[in-house]
A and B are shown apart, each in its own frame.
Chain A
Amino acid sequence: MEEQKAQAYWQENIRTIMQLMVVWFVASYGCGVLFVDLLDTIAFGGFKLGFWFAQQGSIYVFLILIFVYAKRMNAIDEKYDVHE
């Protein structure tokens, strides 16, 4: 039983990581590198959108992701009763 619980906890952690990593990849490698020229055709205030992602936006997204991960994991820790 304990083992199953640990297994389920780990699966949920992996799932959370995967979801957030998709956002991480899209915001940096997607918007800032791979599709930057495409996004640059869109104006975002005084910025081109791709340029903004490469120099500003991706960093804000990274920040939000870490805080979201920390918050979600705290909840998952409690749910499986493995918190400190």
Chain B
Amino acid sequence: MELQSLIYLFVGASFALYIGIAIWAKAGSTSDFYVAGGGVSPVANGMATAADWMSAASFISLAGIVSLLGRDSGAYLMGWTGGYVLLAMLLAPYLRKFGKFTVPDFVGDRYYSDVARTVAVICVIFVSFTYVAGQMRGVGIVFSRFLQVDINTGVILGMGIVFVYAVLGGMKGITYTQVAQYCVLIVAYTIPAIFLSLQVTGDFLPQIGFGGTIEFAFDNGVREIPAGTYVLHALDQSFKDLGFSIPYTEGRAGVWDTFLLTVALMCGTAGLPHVIVRFFTVPRVRDARISAGWALLFIALLYTVCPAVGAFGRLNVIKNLQNNDYATWTQECTADQRAEVDAMIAQGIDTARMPCRGQWFATWENSGLIGWMDKNGDGKIQVANGAAFEGKPTFDGDARGPSGERVLTNTPLPAPAGQAIENEVYVDRDIIVLANPEIAALPNWVIALIAAGGLAAALSTAAGLLLVISSSISHDLLGRVMFKDPETGRSKLTDGQELMAARIAAACAIGVAGYLGINPPGFVAQVVAFAFGLAAASFFPVIINGVFDKRMNKEGAIAGMLVGLSVTFIYIVLNVFVDKSGTFKVFSIEATGIGTIGMVIHFIVAYVVSRATAEPPQEIQEMVESIRIPRGAGAATAH
């Protein structure tokens, strides 16, 4: 079948599955809508958490980031997984025992204060919206790349799908669609990675192949790298030969920066509301603990494969491109050539540099993610350290150069002084995942699977975030603050009214997220630091204190949240937005690591203020005693 039809088939089938699940799992009560009725098995919740957690960026861009940063990317890999250890030990079991619907619920009840509750609601909404804007954009980009529709049409299609299962099914619908989405995305990610590993190293598992040896000798442009060399040694040697100042396996970032960034990402992960609420959906405290383990297992399946994919991708760029003749490499295959290539692959011979095997290069050049400028006019591609030209590729319409390449209008940049080989190629980092099936000569259905996987990753994360936004509005803001009965302290809304409010809030949130996806604020990349930094400086410490420090009172908690948030917020604004060059620094702290400092300040301020003011009421201290003990965790309730 033709590629485009296969993509429509795979994406269409996966969407039909998600909508089918949503109809089957329609929410009947607020408990269904907010916490899926509290009856999700720990394994299913683990899968749903993994899908919730891994976004379009994890799926499409992370391997590219890893291959670009080399060892420094360890901060992201550790930060985005290590947070689950904190969740399992310090947060999830006690919040499950507490047994309410949302994070602001915990903050408001534990600190017996609607001010604390409202601060928490504002944080949830801010953190989740900054995060969701990027997701809707991701949906649009995946649609536009694979289904050849305009990005905005893609965003609207994505909104439609999320609308159906988030508004209809609430947490119950989202949980079971996320389980399906996890299966789609992990299969789509690992199949090409396994073939790539087999092709590069002969090892089946990418995690093993990562430390394995290369099957085929290649010429990196300066020297021949013999077969049997370790993948990472081949990369380090080639980096040295091609003028890169730092080998792939060495770090550029300072120890202090890496440390602060890793802490901020770990504590931010553990403090992100859309991750925390997933642990409200399991039946018992012990399920919450083990469920964090399952979640990390399912996440690790992608996160341990990812750095291998990044290294193989970087190696392939050098091995397959260096001094390869553009015109013959990227030409259309004749039937005879195709048969010859297939036969050679079947015999285990490396064909990656052969004529007509580089069509993927031309394909992604057509979509603008690759650019080649034949600066020395030899018709061959050269790869080396340094940018080939200024900025991202801009093309001169459909004009073609002497070798058939797209003509670039960018200003060429010279190679750094003393470097023999001049880089001629721009490769977008997303290529490392997107072009894998083509580089590995896999059948078309694998490419279709990647399209479905990328969409699954983006949709699942968007849905989880939208649900958190809607529940904090309908449950916390409307139910617990605005329509609170002052005498009983309970909501004046009936369960049915609150459910309707939750659905309306979800629909509005999707509208806003879609708007942000179509008109992205110019700082989407920077706001990630915001989301993690703010979560690390607010929710993480306030929940830890609520569980582990019985003496913590509302004064301490509110002061801690406000000071922690302000420090983080103001620092990022000054560093990223006011002073755009990023030179504003105190003690040379990067904006990405400031969440850690905000968190430490939060802990200190909260401790000092709480000890200087009255201790919390007796019933609150008893509540803390009770959440520490597993027995008696009923289903999550509204009141």
Q: Which residues of A contact B (CB under 8 A)?
A: 6, 9-10, 13, 17, 20-21, 24, 28-29, 32-34, 36-37, 40, 44-48, 50-56, 58-60, 62-63, 65-67, 69-70, 73-74, 77, 82-84
Contacts and interface: CB of A to CB of B under 8 A. Distances in A.
A44 to B, nearest CB: 7
Interface in B585-635: 625, 628-633
Q: Is the interface of A mostly helix, strand, loop or mixed?
A: helix
B71 A54 contact: yes
B48 interface: no
Contact of B628 (A6, A36, A51): A6
A63 B250 contact: no
B212 A46 contact: yes
A62 B82 contact: yes
B50 to A, nearest CB: 12
A54 B85 contact: no
A6 B625 contact: yes
A9 B304 CA distance: 36
Contacts of B154: none
Contacts of B303: 59
Interface string B270-310: 00000000000000111001101100110010011001000
A84 B90 contact: no
Contact of A34 (B84, B255, B304, B632): B255
Contacts, number: 141
B521 interface: no
A69 B292 CA distance: 11
A28 B489 CA distance: 45
Contacts of B296: 62-63, 66
A46 B235 CA distance: 11
B251 interface: yes
Contact of A17 (B77, B90, B232, B293): B90
A50 B70 CA distance: 13
Nearest to A35: B255
B81 interface: yes
Interface string B26-62: 0000000000000000000000000000000000000
B307 A55 contact: yes
Nearest to A66: B293
B178 interface: no
A9 to B, nearest CB: 7
B286 A17 contact: no
With most chain B CB atoms within 10 A of its CB, the pick from A28, A36, A77 is A28
Contact of A44 (B211, B307, B630): B211
Given A29-B259, A34-B259, A46-B211, A63 B231 contact: no
A48 B211 CA distance: 9
B322 interface: no
A46 B208 CA distance: 9
A58 B71 CA distance: 13
Given A28-B262, A40-B249, A55-B74, A45 B628 contact: no
B85 A47 contact: no
Nearest to A13: B628
B286 A77 contact: yes
B230 interface: yes
B210 interface: yes
B213 A32 contact: no
A2 B578 CA distance: 57
A84 B85 contact: no
A84 B232 contact: no
A20 B285 CA distance: 19
Interface of B: 66, 71, 73-75, 77-78, 81-82, 84-85, 88-90, 93, 207, 210-213, 230-233, 249-251, 255, 258-259, 262-263, 284-286, 289-290, 292-293, 296-297, 300, 303-304, 307, 625, 628-633
25 contacts: A13-B628, A21-B85, A29-B262, A32-B78, A36-B255, A40-B250, A44-B211, A46-B231, A54-B77, A55-B66, A55-B210, A55-B307, A58-B78, A58-B81, A59-B303, A60-B304, A62-B81, A66-B85, A66-B89, A69-B88, A69-B289, A70-B286, A70-B289, A73-B286, A83-B631
Contacts of A66: 84-85, 88-89, 289-290, 292-293, 296
A37 to B, nearest CB: 8
B629 A6 contact: yes
Contacts of A6: 625, 628-629
Nearest to B214: A46
Contacts of B85: 20-21, 24, 62, 65-66
Given A28-B262, A63-B296, A82-B631, A58 B82 contact: yes
A10 B279 CA distance: 21
B78 A70 contact: no
Contacts of A33: 74-75, 78, 255, 258-259, 262
Contacts of B259: 29, 33-34
Contacts of A74: 286
A20 B232 contact: no
B293 A70 contact: yes
Contacts of A69: 88-89, 289
Given A6-B629, A84-B630, A28 B82 contact: yes
Given A32-B74, A36-B71, A67-B293, 9 more contacts: A6-B625, A21-B89, A28-B262, A46-B210, A47-B249, A51-B249, A62-B296, A82-B629, A82-B631
A59 B625 contact: no
Contact of A52 (B73, B211, B631): B211
A56 B286 contact: no
A3 to B, nearest CB: 8
Contacts of A70: 88, 286, 289-290, 293
Contacts of A32: 74, 78, 262
A6 B289 CA distance: 19
Nearest to B257: A33
A61 to B, nearest CB: 9
B48 to A, nearest CB: 17
